[in-house]
Amino acid sequence: MTGNRRKYLTNLSYKILLPEYSEEACGRVETDDEKRLNDESFTRGICNLFSILKVWENEGVQTALRLELPYRNAFSPTDLRLDNKPQLKLEIAMRKRGKDIFERRFERSFLRLLQPGLLPNLPNLQYLNIRRNSSRKLAPSIGPDLAASLPNLRDISWEFGEYDSQPASVRSDTRVSFVEALKLTRLRQRPTAEIVFYHEIPFDQRFTGPSLIPSGFSYDPFSAGLRTFSQSLTALTLSAHLESTLFWPSDNETKAVAPIWPFLQTLDLTFNMVTPSGEWYFTGPRPEDHEDDDPAEGIIGDDSSDSNYTNYREHGDPATINQLLAALAKAVQKMPVLEHFKLTSELGSGKGRFHISYHAPGRSADWGDKSDDDLRVRRVYYEVGAVWRPDNAIMHGLRGAGLEKFCKEVTERFLDSQY
């Protein structure tokens, strides 16, 4: 694109080619040298793009731009063989091709942006959309690494992944690297943000999960870092393993001050059933052991409700969920323009969801409104099952959402599950 044509570009979808590799390399995981070459190629691709856009800005022909790193945003031409996996398997079986481990070759690899501080600032790039890859993974720190050079961002949409196949230490390190990079992001606008760290519902609900909290910490720095970042936003959609420090500082956080969200209007949070420390937010009647149960072989009870360990946790566990909700109840008092929040966790198969929501006057709810009269007042709805109830202090705090801006009248309802 040349001359004045450049000023008409408003949406740019950008993919980066990584180095090719040999047929022999298809049968083993990536080496450290291969990872380094991939990082260099990815960094070079980003630097080339930013350098071009900076020239456009300097010449005064670049207007506000949306940048998307789409699905399969970085790939090697050799990766394209995976689109024809049945044929590959047939050739391997006929000994026409050597060993191939397919996506497992880069299962534990992350693409990283090297020396992000060298990127030029691009004030005209105002939207950054990063879509999660299914095989090649971007290090989550790439999101804030790029955002640090985009001071006028108005909208952020990032998808990354937390996979059970990854060692807990790797997942912990990527979370910490993400929030450390986030601390360097200084945005002039009051942006909206959608940040998704893909997380899986644990299959066997009998056991605690691995801790994602780094050694030496008594709280989750990932949640705490997002709390600080969120205080400059107008809207936040977030999905990840989360804990109470997302809403309120831990007593062990040094130099932490009482947070305030002066611009936040909407808050949409989806949290995993398991805390970052590996404990469960939910509980329920544990099924009896089954004689054929063998977790080491992947046999988890049977299909009957008497011995099904995959979905028996169906209501809040006061030992863990109350701490999360108590922090939220304090936080909403510091969100003076808040119009809507929802807090959701997807439970095991067939158990529906845990869901609490608040709606300001005039904002209809997806679930819970009985008539148009409901829209005249503030509403707090609970879809939490028939067993567990939040304590009075939590409910009192959540009733305070929007009190400073809207009417004093509030409606509370406990709803039947819509699933």
* E-only strand ranges, 171-221: 192-198
Question: Confidence band (pLDDT; 50, 70, 90) for 204?
Answer: confident
Please state which of the ranges 24-28, 291-295, 333-337, 400-404 shows the lowest mean pLDDT: 291-295
Q: Does residue 133 surpass a pLDDT of 90?
A: no
Looking at residue 201, what is its pLDDT? Answer: 81
Question: Confidence band (pLDDT; 50, 70, 90) for 254?
Answer: confident
Number of CB atoms found within 10 A of residue 228's CB: 15
Please state which of the ranges 193-197, 273-277, 293-297 shows the lowest mean pLDDT: 293-297
Structure tokens at 390: 């939040």
Question: Sign of torsion, CA 148 149 151 155?
Answer: negative
Question: Confidence band (pLDDT; 50, 70, 90) for 382?
Answer: very high
Looking at residue 256, what is its pLDDT? Answer: 84
* Position 285, amino acid: P
The packing angle between helices 221-230 and 168-182, to 10°, is 30
Residue count of the chain: 419
For residues 15, 20, 24, 28, the Cα torsion angle rounded to the nearest 10 degrees is -40
CA-based max dimension of the chain: 75
Looking at residue 75, what is its pLDDT? Answer: 94
Find the DSSP H helices in 280-388. 318-331
Question: Cα 118 to the chain's mean position, in Å?
Answer: 27
Q: Does residue 305 surpass a pLDDT of 70?
A: no
User: How many angstroms separate the CA atoms of 45 and 54, rounded?
Assistant: 14
Question: Cα 202 to the chain's mean position, in Å?
Answer: 17
Whole-structure pTM value? 0.92
Looking at residue 303, what is its pLDDT? Answer: 54
Question: Confidence band (pLDDT; 50, 70, 90) for 296?
Answer: low
User: How many angstroms separate the CA atoms of 138 and 15, rounded?
Assistant: 12
pLDDT digits (tens, 9 = 90+) for 336-347: 999 999 999 999
